[in-house]
Amino acid sequence: MTPFENPVLDAIIKEMPENVKKIEGMREILLANLAMLGEIPAPTFKEELRIKLLLDRFTELGLSKTSVDEAGNGVAVIEGSGGEKNLMLVAHADTIVPDTVNHTYTITPEEVIGPGVGDNSLGLAVLASLPYLLEKIDYKPVNNIILMAGTKSLGRGNLEGLRFFLENSKLPVNYGVCVEGVRLGRLSHTSIGMLRGDITCRIPEAYDWSRFGSSSAILTLNEVINKINDIRLPKRPKSSVIMGSIEGGNSYNTITTYARLKFEIRSESAELTREIADRIEEITTEVTSGHSETVELDIFARRDPGGIPFSHPLVRSTRRIIESLGVEPRLAPSTSELAAFIDKGIPAVTLGITDGVRAGDDKESIYIEPVYKGLAQLIATIKAIDGGVCE
């Protein structure tokens, strides 16, 4: 046998076209779960109502081991027939969408439209539907499958929910699969180094506003941005500084007293990530020293680079599964839940379920048709892990 040949995996792949057809017949269940979960607002730190509904769905499907842990995670277990290992499927329950936004979803024959639908309401709907799907394709796992809706994942949450579970659970996790709504073909098995933070500029209340040409927090923040842009980044290891959002001011004729930049440092090197962060800290100190404004740096999320190699049986198997669907695997590092598994030395991958458009917009949309392949891919990955293919 070549490294890519395995009779158990071959049998799993052979079943996939039939499973796609079976999953197509479960469209209404999946879309109902997607609408019910997605229409509940769940910004980071406010996921309770969404978690409650998900656990209700688990109970309705006959799962007896359901719970909410101290971090607010929603957890259920599909018990295996006697295996000693635990595969964990996790989807983050929170979204970047504020609870002030209208969360009503629109379902057409081709797509589902609504805020956060791809990131990550669909991921949660997959967890809610999975016990039903496994039953309908008549698959009973040998090992336990832990289903978890993770809280406090995004932004300042810094993967707190999943990190808490992996640190404190009495169930040892042997493999992890992170379920993301988009994009089909996504296969992440490594995490890049990352630092995420805010730079805020404030003008003190005692500032002398009588001076013509008075200062502005926006102008000072712009000076910081220009200096960050001047940082010379090497071609290797690959590194970047992403300036994701700028906010400040509220009118045409009022000098801005507060401005904030949201940014992220990414690098293949943990050392270089820290060096860039140190340089940005120097910049904020330098700018503060030359102005009456206060410029503050707040780093609140970190990831270390790492992961399993391209040749790992879990990656090899998942690549074959994706390719068998006629989909090109999209191999790219991740900064999401995968990083928490990597920190614990747990083999894990991130998979996407479908394709979509307008990510992060109130009219975010996912396509329904590719979902069937995405679910067949996920189930095949579960069966491969459960069948010992990924050892």
Question: Using one digit for the tens of pLDDT, what is the confidence trace for 231-250?
Answer: 999 989 999 999 999 999 88
**Predicted local confidence at residue 206, as pLDDT:** 60
Cβ-contact 273, 193 below 8 angstroms: yes
Q: In whole angstroms, what is the distance from residue 384 CA to residue 120 CA? A: 25
Residue linked to tokens 């030359």: 290
**CATH no., domain 7-191+305-386:** 3.40.630.10
Q: What is the pLDDT of residue 354?
A: 98
> What one-character-per-residue DSSP string does 215-259 give?
--HHHHHHHHHHHHHTS---SSS-EEEEEEEEEE--SSSS--SEE
Beta partners for 198?
A: 262, 298
Q: Tens digits of per-residue pLDDT, 296-332? A: 999 999 998 999 999 999 999 999 999 999 999 999 9
- Who's near 22: CB < 8 A, 6+ residues apart? 136, 137
- The values of phi and psi at residue 263, to 5°, are -140, 165
Query: Distance between CA 114 and CA 363 in Å, rounded?
Result: 5
Kindly indicate the confidence band of residue 188, based on its pLDDT and cuts at 50, 70 and 90.
Answer: very high
Query: Which residue has 């969408």 as its token pair?
Result: 97
- pLDDT, tens digit, 9 for 90 and up, residues 42-72: 999 999 999 999 999 999 999 989 999 999 9
Average pLDDT value for residue range 252-281: 93
At which residue do the structure tokens 């590194």 appear? 239
Give the pLDDT mean for 150-171: 95
Are the CB atoms for 375 and 126 separated by under 8 Å? yes
**Which range is least confidently modeled, 1-5, 72-76, 176-180, 293-297?**
1-5
> Rounded CA gap, 391 and 174, in Å?
10
As given in the structure block, the two tokens for residue 43 are 């910004």
The torsion angle over the Cα atoms of residues 148, 154, 159 and 161, rounded to 10 degrees, is: -50
- CATH architecture, domain 193-303: 2-Layer Sandwich (3.30)
* Residue extent(s) of CATH 3.30.70.360 domains in the chain: 193-303
Residues 79, 146: contact at Cβ < 8 Å?
A: no
Q: Which stretches does DSSP call E strand in 128-174?
A: 144-150
Q: Which pLDDT score is estimated for 7?
A: 93
3-state class of 267 per DSSP? Answer: strand
Identify the bridge partners of residue 197 per DSSP, sorted by sequence position. 263, 299
What single-letter DSSP state applies at residue 203?
A: -
Task: Kindly indicate the confidence band of residue 205, based on its pLDDT and cuts at 50, 70 and 90.
Answer: low
Rounded to 5°, angle at Cα 153 from 149 and 158: 150
β-sheet with 365-367: strand ranges across: 106-107, 111-113, 365-367, 356-357
Euclidean distance between CA atoms 235 and 267, whole angstroms: 11
The pLDDT score that the predictor gives to residue 83 is 83
Q: Look-up: residue for tokens 């999401």?
A: 336
pLDDT for position 213: 44
Residue whose token pair is 């049986």: 313
Q: What are phi and psi of 280, to 5 degrees?
A: -65, -35
107 has pLDDT over 80: yes
Question: What average pLDDT does the chain have?
Answer: 93
C-alpha dihedral sign at 126, 122, 379, 72: negative
| Residue 1 CB contacts under 8 Å (≥ 6 apart), including other chains | none
Distance CA 91, CA 178 (A): 6
pLDDT at 1 over 50: no
Q: Rg for the chain (alpha carbons), in Å?
A: 23
Q: Give the integer Cα–Cα distance in Å for 8 and 6.
A: 6
Average pLDDT over residues 211-222: 73
Kindly tell me the burial class for residue 80, based on how many C-beta atoms sit within 10 Å of its own C-beta (0-12, 13-18, 19 or more): middle
User: Alpha carbon of 336 to those of 51, 150, 342: distances in Å?
Assistant: 19, 11, 11
Nearest Cα neighbor of 235 from 264, 267, 263 is 267
388 pLDDT more than 80: yes
- Provide the 3-class DSSP secondary structure of residue 367: strand
Closest CA to 98 of 48, 53, 41, 50: 41
